[in-house]
Amino acid sequence: MNPIIKAQLDTFKEKNPNSTFTESDFFEVMSIFSLENGILGENIDPFRAHLKGNEFGIDGVAISIQGTLCTDADEAEDILSIGKNHTSDFRFYQSKTSDSLDYGNISKFLDAVHDFFTNKRLVKGTQLESLVEVKDKIYEKAAKTSPSLRCYYCTTGSGQVSDVIQQLIATNKTRLVELNIFDQIHIECVGAKIIQNGFRSATNSSSAKLNFQKAITMPAHEKVDEAYIGYVPASEILAISLGEADAEGIRHINRALFYDNVRDFNPESEINKSIISELESGDNASFVFKNNGITVVSKSIDRKGDIFTIEDPEFNSEVRHLPN
């Protein structure tokens, strides 16, 4: 096993002791943790997404609605009953401690994913049965928005894909596309480097620098050490909001920063469509009057002139107009 992965796995086991888990079990959960919370910027308990049995081809499933992990129909119904045009994502995981990509195992993994949305012949066990019920709830409400699908096959090697495996992935992506039930489909073989970076991002405390010109000091408050109000370029917020790059170099919005937000970005909102249309046409003048604003909460602030260094920032207000 890759020595850095081994060290991270030992750390993960120490922080999450479980006498019934094998090393392979821990790696399955750690892979989910690294990808979800480190690369994709989610904020989930990876043990809830891990499948505990011997399910065919799949080690983990994370289904999120409005950024919240759902593992049964009741959880899904609670979220779907509020508002409309919900955003949903299906993320499937298969993890192997081997340092090579196995054609047969990847084929089984993608067969199991396809079966989950079609025949369900391979759906065995209460966890997968409950997740199918979540899936059904999502599609009952999917009149205007289709969910996205992501499939991750994780190993401790380089993750380098051969031509034969690339063809296997392309073939399976085509048959998933032909179901016509997904907005986007992404299939990726993940190697040690991505898992390492994701684990570090998910476990290290974060700090960010914000160029906050003309900040105005807010009045004193008994529960707040210091506070400022003003305007910053959107590029400054994006610099804080984006997580580690995935295998394709794409940096995703770090949803953990928005943990306390009531709403996620809604691409179907007429207000949001109007704002985006104006921005795309070059009309930036009215943005500041239509945007709801952002509140950033931090454990500490170190100010030097216009540069604010903030520790473990979190966005607590509604950020309706920030697309993912």
pLDDT band at 320 (very low <50, low <70, confident <90, very high): very low
Nearest CA-CA partner of 141 in 65, 61, 49, 255: 65
Q: Please report, for the chain, the start and end positions of each structural domain, with discontinuous segments joined by +.
A: 3-200, 206-315
Residue 291 has pLDDT above 80, yes or no: no
Task: Tell me the pLDDT tens digit for each residue of 192-246.
Answer: 999 999 999 888 766 778 888 888 888 888 888 888 888 888 788 787 777 777 7
Which pLDDT score is estimated for 223?
80
Please give the model's pTM, rounded to 2 decimal places: 0.73
Helix axes 103-117, 126-140, angle to 10 degrees: 50
Mean pLDDT within 281-305? 79
Which pLDDT score is estimated for 84?
80
Which pLDDT score is estimated for 322?
41
Which pLDDT score is estimated for 266?
64
Neighbours of 62 (CB within 10 A): 25
Beta-strand pair 148-154/88-95: parallel
Task: Tell me the pLDDT tens digit for each residue of 125-171.
Answer: 899 999 999 999 999 998 788 999 999 999 999 999 999 999 999 99
